[in-house]
Structure 1
Amino acid sequence: MSTETDKAVEKSAPRPTSRSRVSGVLIGLTVALVIVAVLSACIGQVPTSPLEVLGSIMHRIGLDIGPMPAHPSGEVTLWEVRFPRVVLAICVGAALGCSGALLQGVFANPLAEPGVIGVSSGAAVGASAVIVVGGNFVAGWAIAAAAFVCGLLTTAIVYLFARHEGRTEVVTLVLTGVAVNAFAGGLIAFFTFIASPSARDQIVFWQLGSLNGATWNSVLVVAPMTVVGIAATMAIASRLDLLALGEHAARHLGVNVERLRQLAVLIVALLVSASVAFTGIILFVGLVVPHLMRIVVGPGHRALIPASALTGALVLLLADLGSRSLIDNADLPLGMLTALVGGPFFFWLLRRTRSQQGGWA
């Protein structure tokens, strides 16, 4: 590669925000996430203080530091109900934030988010079908398994239909995703129509999203996939930056664009399928969070991906905290809250981007 090409690439490549600022943002997000996680573990019908939460954790890892929960049911409530819910919220939020950043980067499309490739709607079809067939006797793991498998299958169908002459066309993929999502919506409506009243309520509630059924078993499924998915995304971060120069420039620099897109779709499908399988559909996290972090830390994916993962985890924890505390003795649908807050916030981001930058980056 010529010296002129090197200079052109260096000049055109996305320039990251200063390292000190990025480090400060990541540290700040991590501290905020820990604080909100502790506060989230305190909220509930069984009163627990932050010091008791920390003391319970310290005693569990073998350190005799801090007070134990004073309530007789405090220890059991923390470890069987609240901690699984907090950890699952962190994993799912991080998975959705990372998925959104990955899709927007690999397709250079501001509207790219996990729902575009059909994974969420496919998971909803699988869950709805199992709920209708199983009725009141269907187990939660059966619903999760059906949602996971159908999410992966729907993503594969969207990807295969988007291929033309050995390559994936971005516009075709987005349009195919829209068509498949519409078809999936029709199937969900059909299942809802033929379902019994109790099954119908279960389908509607599942689609609204909730962390109410979080267990350590679900965490053991989602957490490893989240860690592996984020690690795999970080491994291709430099190639995503090169792809931002354009397909032709990226190919000239040695990037196999088609293989990169295949890998990105696979990572997103695994991350999102595992997440929505246990929580239902959660909207706007994968769309809004990467936009916001791109403004804060810049377009470089080595900073954008971890920032999006941390912010996604923080946003979902805050949303879950709101769902449990806004109304006494009620657990509001999580997807409803993220949509109500995320929609107007995304509109504000679009307005800000158009007025200040004239683009989506």
Structure 2
Amino acid sequence: MKAKLFAYGGGALMLLLLSVTLSLSFGSAQVPIGDVWRILFHAIPGIGDSIQPDWSPSDESIILKVRLSRVVLAILVGASLAIAGAGFQAVLRNPLADPYTLGVASGASVGAAFIILFGLQTFIGQWSIPVVAFTTGMTTLFIVYKLASTQGKSQLETLILSGVVVQAFLGAFVSFMVSLSGEVVNEILYWLMGSLSMRNWDYSLLLLPYLGVVVVILIGFSRSLNLLALGERQAAHLGVHVERTKLIVLVVSTLVTAAAVSVSGVIGFVGLVVPHLVRLIVGPDYRIIIPISTIVGGIYVLWADTIARIALSPREIPLGVVTAIIGAPFFAYLLNKHKHKSRG
């Protein structure tokens, strides 16, 4: 298992580094890849002293002050949604589950739309929308879990059904607020479609602790998730505390999803496509799926955001639109391939 993890993890990290370099060089102002590397190394204390800065100050400012913060945030958002998707698919034992299955995105959207509709975006500074979106997203999980619980236990079918019902209700509520929004309708819709524009390093620093904690927790539960794939009764006989495992994995997956949605808006298909693709490549072992999904999710959103920036430059496409355009056909292809494989 370790050899397989190192092989796939090493390849994924190399692809991530290449993607970061290429993404930093793309944009309205083209910066050569060689200059990108040297600018990055020059900014590292101790290493940078040996590099002669022969590039223009404007290129350095573009790389370090504009693009790098956005690239890092794209990686963190993608990693957060992908690892949350892996957690949801493991607990719900459904490859079609994603971080939005239990209505987290709709809950966060209600909070964000409410803040924008009533012009309260600055009541606690730039964090107004993220804080409220995060709070309403987590409140949604509590409501869904309460609806699905009977004597402290929750059935998978009931949990998913509760999520669908709550998501539909909150989605209707968001649509109602959009219909009332008037002059701010574009701002609400743009948040609902997701974007990483106008985000500074503070947003990455906000999201990083959540992602770090969730990665550690889910990797710690990876063996239990492997056993849970055999069925709840079998897992319980093998020593897994089923209800506790389900609750912890669902809570932390929702936690990191709400944190990601609160800083980027609603970005779909990442938590759906990435873990499913990783599972097809590396197999069903969650000790490998969880860390590799984290890296691949960062790569996926990074490239989607790069396309969003440069496709119609100087205009920018909403990030959620790009992930849906790429993710929906790709996932349809995976489903069709899996269907034919099952028939064979």
Q: TM-score when scaled to structure 1?
A: 0.90
| d(CA) in 2 for partners of 1:25, 1:357 | 26
- Write out aligned runs for 1:114-133 (5 A): 114-133=99-118
- Counterpart for residue 280 of structure 2: 295
- Write out aligned runs for 1:71-82 (5 A): 71-82=56-67
- Structure 1 window deviating more from structure 2 (64-73 vs 248-257): it is 64-73
Q: CA deviation at 1:36?
A: 0.7
Q: CA deviation at 1:41?
A: 1.3
Q: CA deviation at 1:67?
A: 5.2
| d(CA) in 2 for partners of 1:281, 1:339 | 11
Q: CA deviation at 1:50?
A: 2.0
| d(CA) in 2 for partners of 1:332, 1:301 | 34
- Counterpart for residue 40 of structure 1: 23
Q: CA deviation at 1:40?
A: 1.1
> What is the aligned counterpart of 2:225 among 213, 227, 240?
240
Check the 8 A contact 2:107/2:139 in 1, yes or no.
yes
SS at match of 1:328: coil
1:145-180 per-position Cα deviation (integer Å, ceiling 9, x unaligned): 111111111111111111112201111111111111
| d(CA) in 1 for partners of 2:8, 2:282 | 8
Check the 8 A contact 2:91/2:250 in 1, yes or no.
no
| d(CA) in 2 for partners of 1:204, 1:23 | 42
Matched, 1:259 2:249: no
- Write out aligned runs for 1:276-291 (5 A): 276-291=261-276
> What is the aligned counterpart of 1:166 among 139, 152, 177?
152
- Counterpart for residue 195 of structure 1: 181
Counterpart AA for 1:313: G
Check the 8 A contact 1:95/1:275 in 2, yes or no.
yes
Gaps of 5+ in 2: none
Change beyond 3 A, Cα 1:69–1:77: farther
- Counterpart for residue 39 of structure 2: 56
Gaps of 5+ in 1: 1-17
- Write out aligned runs for 1:145-164 (5 A): 145-164=131-150
Q: CA deviation at 1:72?
A: 2.9
| d(CA) in 1 for partners of 2:91, 2:299 | 24
Counterpart AA for 1:223: L
Change beyond 3 A, Cα 1:312–1:205: same
Counterpart AA for 1:273: A
- Write out aligned runs for 1:14-33 (5 A): 20-33=3-16
Check the 8 A contact 2:121/2:128 in 1, yes or no.
no
Change beyond 3 A, Cα 1:232–1:135: closer
Counterpart AA for 2:72: V
Q: CA deviation at 1:201?
A: 0.6
Matched, 1:343 2:328: yes
Counterpart AA for 1:59: H
SS at match of 1:73: helix
Check the 8 A contact 1:99/1:272 in 2, yes or no.
yes
> What is the aligned counterpart of 1:85 among 66, 70, 73?
70
| d(CA) in 2 for partners of 1:145, 1:76 | 30
Matched, 1:181 2:167: yes
Q: CA deviation at 1:66?
A: 4.2
Check the 8 A contact 2:91/2:225 in 1, yes or no.
yes
Identity of matched residues, %? 37
- Structure 1 window deviating more from structure 2 (18-27 vs 323-332): it is 18-27
What is the count of residue pairs matched by the alignment? 341
SS at match of 2:329: helix
Counterpart AA for 1:177: G
SS at match of 1:115: coil
Counterpart AA for 1:56: I
Check the 8 A contact 1:29/1:310 in 2, yes or no.
yes
Q: TM-score when scaled to structure 2?
A: 0.94
- Counterpart for residue 214 of structure 1: 199
Q: CA deviation at 1:135?
A: 6.1
SS at match of 1:250: helix
Change beyond 3 A, Cα 1:259–1:126: same
Counterpart AA for 1:213: M
| d(CA) in 2 for partners of 1:98, 1:349 | 19
> What is the aligned counterpart of 2:87 among 84, 93, 102?
102
- Counterpart for residue 7 of structure 1: none
Q: CA deviation at 1:253?
A: 1.2
| d(CA) in 2 for partners of 1:162, 1:65 | 60
Counterpart AA for 2:285: G
Q: CA deviation at 1:116?
A: 0.6
Check the 8 A contact 2:84/2:271 in 1, yes or no.
yes
